[in-house]
Chain A
Amino acid sequence: MGKNFKIGVIMILFLAIIVFAGPLIAPYDPNDVNMSIRLQGVTSAHIMGTDQLGRDLFSRLVYATGTSVKISLVVVIVSMVIGFVFGSTAAFLGGAVDEFLMRIIDVFMAFPTKIFTIAIAGILGASAFNITLALIITSWAVYARMVRGCVLTAKEMPFIDAATALGANRFYTIIKHVLPSVFQPLSTFAFQRIAHTMMAIVGLSFIGLGVQPPTPELGAMISESKNFMSTAPHLFIFPGLLISYVVFSFNILDDSLRDYWDPRIKSELAL
């Protein structure tokens, strides 16, 4: 599987520890305000310094990474499930139902994603829950379209005819033969979308429509640090490095997996 795969796995494992064991790692409460030590650089007590309210930057970063990554995972998993149900229903039922469901997908895909997400997030009001909801509303259609395509392709495969010829009933064929051939491209695609979703979340939080301060979140932290760029550049540099770390670890793993898996999928997902 190569070196990149190993690097990716190690990076993701390390990330998983930060995300799921955050409270054990962080030395301080991320919302512990102490104005007497505000905007400090690196010290022995605060290994990444403190922010404009004297909060420990390292502890905030640990929690912030957890927030951003968990929202990405929820968005990707829920969109994938909705897309799977919607897309496979369209493909299996076919005919007028398929036509109708496809028009709905077309309408959802007719909006430029960012504008659509911003509109929904703005109308619902900025919060972690609403940004999750907004991203699910704007991203499920891509999965649905993809699942539908995969199911339609799988239905035409010779092994499906073979199963039918051998007397397998429709339900058995679907569960045993059609769905498994959808899972691999779908999970590859979903994996690829994690990095993408993460970028969307930090971007929206950065412009003030996502997670709200004082909840630690990477994009929101960068936004808060804007006024202190000249005096305390570490406040924006560290969260940005962490975002790049997270996205890079998913990107490099995805890259090595694509080289490993079926070249057919590689060309399908090239965009």
Chain B
Amino acid sequence: MIRYIFRRLLYLIPVLILTSFLAYMLVYLSPSSPAQIILQSRYSGDPTQEQINDFNQEYGFDQPILIQYASWLKNAVRGDLGKSLSDGSEVLDDFIYSFKASAELYFSSQLLALIIALPIGVYSAFKANSIFDRISRAYSLVGMSIPDFWLGMLLVYVFSIVLNLLPSFGYTSPQNIILPMLALGLSSSFSLIRLVRTSVLEVLHLNYIRTARSKGLSEGQIMMKHALRNALIPIVTVVGIHLTHFIGGAVAVETMFAWPGLGNFFAKAAGNQDIPVIQGFVLLSAVFFIFANLIIDIICKQLDPRIDYQNEGGKNNG
């Protein structure tokens, strides 16, 4: 196990280097140079060539790209990702603040999704092809087709505009989280119901379930003692993957409810071409994402010793 983790970490080094390079280089996709973009936001008008040259010299943009990248990375490793162009705040502080807001919303909504999806999915699989099963399948298929931000708007329409019960946006009172949490939680629960149902159904067809049945165990005992434990493995994996999606995954819902989360903050910064924020957030979210995936793999390996990750690292069949 330790050898496995060590090898995975070693393999991450080239990926991290390339990822950070790509994060830095992203801004060069823009038709204007960084100096133009930054000076435009500073003087709110087109800068002169002289201003651009002065700026390039002052901030080292006249040096070769690799040297610029190296000094950016050196500062980044020390936790200095520069300051936002729009309000001068530290990029790292912005990231931590919005990361927390996103995490709050996302963890509570995923918990809600689990509470809804587990009983419905398990019962659906248990009574496969019953009326309950058919209704729950149709329900989840329809639900999966509804955009989360639009579901949020419907909730706002009913609970804020028509019934006037809950605030429609903001981050100040504890009530603010209810509607965005419902929107995201319901949205995630639809696909989760399907996943729970499939996972439990697959397990129910296995031989050891037949053995348990032939031993005369009741259906309830079979479900609790034998089926659920094994069906949980794919569910844990998917919930884990879902949890990493809070990096940006809830952007439309966050924007809809003016929730100061990562997606919302980043979308605004990207729209304003706030270069340091774009580079910093892309780098930090990629690093987080890479390590979160590693942790999920390790947990799955712990849960299910049958999984063989010997060939992990892209050398397997994909």
A→B interface (CB under 8 Å): 99, 102-107, 110-116, 118-126, 145-146, 148-150, 152-153, 195, 199, 202-203, 206-209, 219, 222, 226, 229-230, 233, 236-237, 240, 243-245, 247-248, 251-252, 255, 270-271
CB-based nearest B residue for A247: B145
* Contact between chains at A248 and B271 (CB < 8 Å): no
Encode B38-57 as 1/0 by CB contact (under 8 A) with A. 00000000000000000000
Given contacts A207-B255, A230-B161, A244-B147, contact A123 B270 (CB under 8 A): yes
B273–A243 CB distance below 8 A: no
**B271 to chain A: which residues have CB within 8 Å?**
122, 126, 208-209
A107 touches B147 (CB 8 A): no
Interface contact A111-B286, CB-CB below 8 Å = yes
B interface with A by C-beta (< 8 Å): 14-15, 18-19, 22, 26-27, 29-31, 141-142, 144-147, 149-150, 153-154, 156-157, 161, 195, 198, 234, 238, 241, 244-245, 247-249, 251-252, 255-256, 262-263, 266-267, 269-273, 278, 281-282, 285-286, 289-290, 314, 317-318
B141 and A255 within 8 A (CB): yes
Contact B15–A103 (Cβ < 8 Å): yes
Most interface-central of A114, A237, A245 (chain B CB within 10 A): A114
Partner of A195, one of B145, B263, B267: B145
With A110-B290, A124-B29 known as contacts, the answer to whether A270 contacts B198 (CB < 8 A) is: yes
In the bound complex, how far is the Cα of B277 from the Cα of A115, in angstroms? 12
Question: Are A115 and B281 interface neighbours, CB within 8 A?
Answer: yes
In whole Å, how far is B20's beta carbon from the nearest beta carbon of chain A? 10
State A240–B149 Cα separation when bound (angstroms).
Answer: 9
CA A123 to CA B291, docked complex, whole Å: 26
Contacting residues, chain A, for B156 (C-beta < 8 A)? 229
In contact, B286 and A199 (Cβ under 8 angstroms):
no
Residue in contact with B318 in the complex, picked from A152, A195, A226, A247, CB distance below 8 Å: A152
- Are B255 and A122 in touch, CB under 8 angstroms? no
The closest CB in chain B to the CB of A103 belongs to B14
Please, how many angstroms separate the alpha-carbon atoms of A245 and B244 in the complex? 29
Q: How far is the CA of A165 from the CA of B289 in the complex (A)?
A: 46
Q: How far is the CA of A229 from the CA of B241 in the complex (A)?
A: 34
Report the minimum CB–CB distance from A269 to chain B (whole Å).
12
Given contacts A102-B314, A112-B245, contact A123 B15 (CB under 8 A): no
Are A251 and B278 touching (Cβ within 8 A)? Answer: no
Contact of B248 with A118 in the complex, beta carbons under 8 Å? yes
Contact (Cβ within 8 A) A115 B22: no
- A247 and B19 CA atoms in complex are apart in Å by 33
Report the bound CA distance from A230 to B163 in whole Å: 12
